[in-house]
Amino acid sequence: MLYTYNEIKNKYKSTYQIRKALKNKEFFKIEKGIYSDIPNVHYLAVIMKKYPYGVFTSYSAYYYHNLTDVIPNTMYLATNRNGTTITSDKIKQIRMKDELYNLGKTEIDYEGIKINIYDKERMLIDLARNKNQIGYDLYKEIISNYRKLANSLDTQKIEEYLQYFANGDKIFEIIQDEVF
């Protein structure tokens, strides 16, 4: 199990007791402010503990939804526009308006870790919106995987989501042409 520094401090009460417990391997320091009762922890569990408000999006979400086999070098996390700034070289923060931040937000189990992520329908809309910013080969790979999933996608959900985006009609046309 993972703990923040404050959770450890509540349990051990003093810095001296924390250092003593660390030395006795009662728990382990994973990185600054994150501790665990086991020495090796999945990187996604650490990210979710550090940034519980973060939602995986963009290349990260496509990878965790198994829509691409390209492992992103950087984790893409969406946060509320007014949320805390993430200062990490490994994470690219994408700030969003409230209504877009919560749109399609869900939780999945990835390798035994519960992560916040946007659902496949929301990510399809983002793919169509950002078609020109994603490399051609990657775009084609993701679209072909969406075609395989076409029957399991919730088209009503897609239509509901499109109301929140400018050019929703144009995005819907792209989705219709490319996927369905």
- The 3-state DSSP class for residue 86 equals coil
How crowded is the C-beta side of 141, counted as CA atoms within 13 Å? 13
Count: domains in the chain: 2
102 and 63 share one domain: yes
Closest to 102 in 3D by CA, of 90, 116, 115, 113: 116
**pLDDT reading at 83 higher than 90:** no
Give the C-alpha separation, 39 to 33, whole Å.
Answer: 15
Q: In which domain, by residue range, is 18 found?
A: 2-41
Q: Are strands 34-36 and 55-56 parallel, antiparallel or unpaired?
A: unpaired
70 and 148 share one domain: yes
Note the pLDDT tens digit of each residue in 113-143. 999 999 999 999 999 999 999 999 999 999 9
Taking the model in full, what pTM does it have? 0.91
Note the pLDDT tens digit of each residue in 17-73. 999 999 999 999 999 999 999 999 999 999 999 999 999 999 999 999 999 999 999
When computed from its CA atoms, the radius of gyration of the chain, rounded to whole angstroms, is 19
119 and 157 share one domain: yes
70 and 114 share one domain: yes
